[in-house]
Amino acid sequence: MSDVELVLRSTRVITPEGTRPASVAVSGGKIAAVLPHDAEIPAGARLEDFGDDVLMPGIVDTHVHVNDPGRTEWEGFWTATRAAAAGGITTIVDMPLNSLPPTTTTANLRTKQDVAAAKAHIDVGFWGGALPDNVKDLRPLHDAGVFGFKCFLSPSGVDEFPHLNGDQLTASMAEIAGFGGLLIVHAEDPHELDVAPSNSGPKYDDYLATRPRISEDVAIRGLIDTAKRIGARVHILHLSSSDALPLIAAAKAEGVKLTVETCPHYLTLTAEEVPDGASEFKCCPPIREAANQDLLWQALADGTIDCVVTDHSPSTADLKTDDFATAWGGISGLQLSLSAIWTEARKRGYSLEDVVRWMSSRTSELVGLDDRKGAIAVGRDADFAVLSPDATFTVDPAELQHRNRVTAYAGKTLHGVVRSTWLRGERIVADGEFTAPQGKLLERNK
Ligand SMILES: [Zn+2]
Cα–ligand 1 centroid distance for 332 (angstroms): 11
* Closest CA relative to residue 66, chosen from 127, 107, 110: 127
Q: In sequence order, which residues have a C-beta less than 8 Å from that of residue 21 and are 6 or more positions away?
A: 10, 11, 12, 13, 36, 37
The backbone torsions φ and ψ at residue 427, rounded to the nearest 5 degrees and listed phi first, read -75, 115
User: 56 with 384: CB under 8 angstroms?
Assistant: yes
What's the CA-to-centroid distance between 382 and ligand 1, angstroms? 28
Q: What is the pLDDT of residue 328?
A: 87
Check residue 65 and give its pLDDT: 96
Whole-angstrom CA distances from 205 to 43, 282, 392 are: 63, 11, 31
For residue 321, the model assigns a pLDDT of: 86
Q: Can you give the pLDDT at residue 317?
A: 85
Tens digit of pLDDT at every position of the chain (446 positions): 559 999 999 999 999 999 999 999 999 999 999 999 999 999 999 999 999 999 999 999 999 999 999 999 889 999 999 999 999 999 999 999 999 999 999 999 999 999 999 999 999 999 999 999 999 999 999 999 999 999 999 999 899 999 999 999 999 999 999 999 999 999 999 999 999 999 999 999 999 999 999 999 999 999 999 999 999 999 999 999 999 999 999 999 999 999 999 999 999 999 999 999 999 999 999 999 999 999 999 999 999 999 999 999 988 888 888 899 998 889 999 999 999 999 999 999 999 999 999 999 999 999 999 999 999 999 999 999 999 999 999 999 999 999 888 899 999 999 999 999 999 999 999 988 999 999 999 999 77
Q: Is beta strand 6-15 parallel, antiparallel or unpaired with respect to 18-27?
A: antiparallel
CA of 96 to the centre of ligand 1 (A): 9
Name the packing angle between helices 245-253 and 290-302 (round to 10°): 10
pLDDT of residue 296: 98
For residues 366 and 360, give the distance between their C-alpha atoms in angstroms, rounded to a whole number.
10
Please tell me the predicted confidence (pLDDT) of residue 445: 79
Please give the pLDDT value at position 320: 87
pTM, rounded to two decimals: 0.97
pLDDT at 137: 98
Domain boundaries, the chain: 59-366
112 and 407 Cβ atoms separated by less than 8 Å = no
pLDDT of amino acid 347: 98
pLDDT at 78: 97
For ligand 1, the distance from its centroid to the CA atom of residue 62, given in whole angstroms, is 10
Do the Cβ atoms of 106 and 137 come closer than 8 Å? yes
CA of 250 to the centre of ligand 1 (A): 25
Q: What is the pLDDT of residue 1?
A: 55
According to the model, what pLDDT value does residue 2 have?
Answer: 55
Between CA 351 and CA 347 the distance in angstroms is 10
Angle made by CA atoms 289, 277, 193, in degrees to the nearest 5: 55
User: Ligand 1 mean position to 161 CA, how many Å?
Assistant: 12
The residues pairing with 262 across neighbouring beta strands, listed in sequence order, are 308
CA distances from 24 to 21, 47, 99 (A): 10, 10, 39
* Alpha-carbon dihedral angle through residues 188, 198, 95, 240, given to the nearest 10 degrees: -50
Neighbours of ion ligand 1 (CB under 5 A): 311
Q: What is the CATH number of domain 59-366?
A: 3.20.20.140
Cα(64) to ligand 1 centroid in Å equals 7
Task: Give the number of other CB atoms < 10 A from CB of residue 155.
Answer: 15
Please give the distance, rounded to the nearest whole angstrom, from the Cα atom of residue 284 to the centre of ligand 1: 8
Cα–ligand 1 centroid distance for 239 (angstroms): 11
Residue 269's pLDDT is: 98
Ligand 1 center to 237 CA (angstroms): 8
